[in-house]
Chain A
């Protein structure tokens, strides 16, 4: 097992890790000092060199996204996505609760690079401790002169405020999040225009996940080249992998992208409980397709997981042992997406309900072969045909469940 020196999680286990004094004692805000001496374009160029891709699930190159922000617009915003809600994912909560300043430093650097003077933190309503930690971190940063007017004498101004969501998974989608920030129902917007053109209050807005932003200080301090030397060809840098389910030591592990799934499960997470075999693995949060145990050597990267038939998503690994009832797993995941559908477009709203009805019959032993056919038909109908990516995320577990574990679904109909 390779033991990597943690980058993002270097602070989290220190006593009082959330406090500004602790953060400063271990080199906190040094990257900000360095960035403010660079030009905004130099900062963006460094982030482009690092080749870091967004950590919120979609994996869009962050530097490219920053480059989309118009230079001549007088008013621009940064919106920070802390609306972590994808089942299996618990990394953002850890950073926000234990090391909020690492994100905040990234926020200030990113705002400086894109020329934003106002940043909005959008945090999941359920994260009570996270809300407190964000507010405390921001107010301490104001006191130390890292926020407000003329930050560290650079002439750059930035104000940051915290906004609580109120229990809607869809608000993690960037345009739905902007709607929610504006005090509306969290329904995704038509794209284009993209947020970089028309975002919050119609102004150019950069939306970035908080794990992505926590990487920025390290990229600035150690250089984009250092960052891009870690990882695989198309997946650079360190990543927090959340691992849960039937493993001996679940938790968050920070490892380079490209670390094989097998190493994460058997060496870092202590292997499968009771020495059982693996039946299925979800590699990137509940909207990513299942993998079977034979794909266990797949490196955890964007392109490698795609080649294996799944996706990196949020890097949230859920392990299911040989005793797991896959029909029940698919039913449970589907119920989540049906519950969280915003109801705006019909494939997701009605299709989701149809799938759930079939799955409930099947899981309850009352389903028929027709239910399996219906399930497949409806899932294919939803896939790629919804307004936002959630519909596809809802169809993926059903389609991959049927593809890999069809005999289990059929067994459930044996009596009928």
Chain B
């Protein structure tokens, strides 16, 4: 029996280098930066660089909620729906407020491609709830007035 076979990737047949594979999440972050989501080409490029198949890369990427397979708006608003945000009049109340202001439902993007609205699991802001995130910025102790401010400022940045 060919002992090399044991080290073969189940799909591609290429021998996977553990050091390269460990770069997977970092590589996917870089690939995602280009378009805000993972394009087919980006996945192929990551697979090529890591010596793996696109299937291997999709398998890993699809496990993690921060990797996206579909285009999103310029600003992704993620409202925390955790237990402490709920107890502090946040979660759905914040999501509904943003939803009404932007005229989009959860999971949708505004027509101008500016905003995508989502909910996320606990953001570790329970002591400063309610919380939401816009791209890499965290906003805490939210109130309607604070949300208005945030949205107006982002709209002004165009």
B128 touches A250 (CB 8 A): yes
A286 touches B21 (CB 8 A): no
Q: Taking the complex as formed, is B133 at the interface, i.e. its CB lies under 8 A from any CB of chain A? A: yes
B136 touches A128 (CB 8 A): yes
Q: Taking the complex as formed, is A54 at the interface, i.e. its CB lies under 8 A from any CB of chain B? A: no
A251 touches B127 (CB 8 A): yes
- B59, B122, B136, B138: the one within 8 Å of A185 (CB): B59
B126 touches A90 (CB 8 A): yes
Residues of A within 8 A of B126 (CB): 87-90, 242, 244-245, 250, 316, 318
Q: Taking the complex as formed, is A36 at the interface, i.e. its CB lies under 8 A from any CB of chain B? A: no
Q: Taking the complex as formed, is A174 at the interface, i.e. its CB lies under 8 A from any CB of chain B? A: no
CA gap between A167 and B24 in the complex, in Å:
14
Q: Taking the complex as formed, is A329 at the interface, i.e. its CB lies under 8 A from any CB of chain B? A: yes
Residues of B within 8 A of A85 (CB): 121-122, 124
A168 touches B63 (CB 8 A): yes
Q: Taking the complex as formed, is B67 at the interface, i.e. its CB lies under 8 A from any CB of chain A? A: yes
Digitize A242-276: 1 where CB-to-B-CB distance is under 8 Å, 0 elsewhere: 11111000111000000000000000000000000
B66 touches A167 (CB 8 A): yes
- B29, B87, B123: the one within 8 Å of A318 (CB): B87
Q: Which residue of A lies closest to B61 (CB)?
A: A166
Question: Contacts A87-B122, A332-B83, A336-B121 known; A201 to B67 CB distance under 8 Å?
Answer: no
> Which residues of chain A from 174 to 212 have a CB within 8 Å of any chain B CB?
180-186, 201
Q: Which 5 A-B pairs have the closest CB atoms?
A: A183-B24, A166-B64, A167-B65, A244-B126, A167-B66
- Hey, which bits of chain B sit against chain A, CB under 8 A? 18, 21-26, 28-29, 50, 59-60, 63-67, 81-84, 86-88, 91, 120-129, 133, 136-138
Instruction: Show 18 residue pairs from A and B whose CB-CB distance is below 8 angstroms, ordered by the A residue.
Output: A88-B126, A89-B124, A90-B125, A93-B124, A126-B66, A128-B138, A163-B26, A165-B25, A166-B66, A169-B121, A185-B63, A186-B64, A244-B127, A245-B84, A251-B127, A320-B87, A332-B81, A336-B82
- Hey, which bits of chain A sit against chain B, CB under 8 A? 84-90, 92-93, 124-129, 163-169, 180-186, 201, 242-246, 250-252, 282, 286, 316, 318, 320, 324, 328-329, 332-333, 336, 339-340, 342
